[in-house]
Amino acid sequence: MKTIIVIPTYNEKENIIRIIPEIKKRFRKAHVLVVDDKSPDGTAAVVKAMAKKDRSIKLIERSGKYGLGTAYVEGFKYALERGYDHIFEMDADYSHDPKYLPDFVKAMKSSDIVVGSRYVNGVSVINWPLQRLMLSKFANFYARAITGLPMTDCTSGFKCYSRKVLEAVGLNNVHSDGYAFQIEMHYKAWKKGFKITEIPIIFVDRVNGTSKMSKRVIAEAAWKVWELKFGIKK
């Protein structure tokens, strides 16, 4: 199986330099693709230096901050064009611990998508303010109630897709960002009949760097579920 781990970055210099070696340690054969949006802190330069020494590390440098959703779509297209079988989504900020990568690989043997869930066994989130946890729990309740998506954590961004899922969902029609992007990908895959498996992960709030979470991200997700449910826009 040819595997690639897609990591979008915006100002993640301190994190990316540490997390890539940890990923390689846990999953030697996986390739890593960083999609950087011209981070002012020089994240791309750091990745470029690593890529020079290790050809399994790849970098897409975009010309500006175009958002998480389009970064993923660009990374997924890169992966499909180059024949990868398993394509991971992962954040650079250590909320997604590389130690879980083998669990995903195992679960992929009998699934089309494996999602790391914070809510399989109650709540597994460390260092989030109560407000943030409540927002996430509510977002999940809301998305599930409206769309029927049978998942405990439909906004999770730690996951692995088999290539047939990404081929089937129609990446050119995915335009959302942030939380909405995750919900849209899950919903479209589920509607097409793909098997989604959730595995438990412990999610830790970022230690270094700053969050890109905003009111716009929340509003987009709130609207997106109605769009998906009623097919207002494809």
Ligand X SMILES: Nc1nc2c(ncn2[C@@H]2O[C@H](COP(=O)(O)OP(=O)(O)OP(=O)(O)O)[C@@H](O)[C@H]2O)c(=O)[nH]1
Binding stretches for ligand X (CB under 6 A): 8-10, 12, 35-37, 65, 67-68, 71, 91-93, 95, 206, 211-213
Look up residue 174 and give its two tokens.
């995915």
Strand duo 31-36 + 57-61: pairing: parallel
CA 126 to mean position of chain CA atoms:
19
Q: CB 212 → Mg ion: shortest distance, Å?
A: 8
Is the Cβ of residue 97 or residue 227 nearer to Mg ion in the bound state?
Answer: 97
- Distance between CA 83 and CA 87 in Å, rounded? 10
C-beta separation of 163 from 85 below 8 A: yes
Q: CB 219 → ligand X: shortest distance, Å?
A: 14
Is the Cβ of residue 95 or residue 147 nearer to Mg ion in the bound state?
Answer: 95
Residue 204 sits at the vertex; the CA angle it makes with 139 and 110, to the nearest 5 degrees, is 75
Look up residue 13 and give its two tokens.
């210099």
Among 48-56, 90-98, 161-169, 181-189, the segment contacting Mg ion (CB under 5 A): 90-98
Q: CB 180 → ligand X: shortest distance, Å?
A: 12
Reference 8, options 64, 60, 81; nearest CA is 60
Using CB under 5 A as the criterion, what x/- string covers residues 94-123 for binding Mg ion?
Answer: -x----------------------------
Is the Cβ of residue 109 or residue 215 nearer to ligand X in the bound state?
Answer: 215
- Distance between CA 4 and CA 158 in Å, rounded? 13
Residue 12 interacts with Mg ion (CB under 5 A)? no
Which residues form the interface with Mg ion (CB under 5 A)? 91, 93, 95
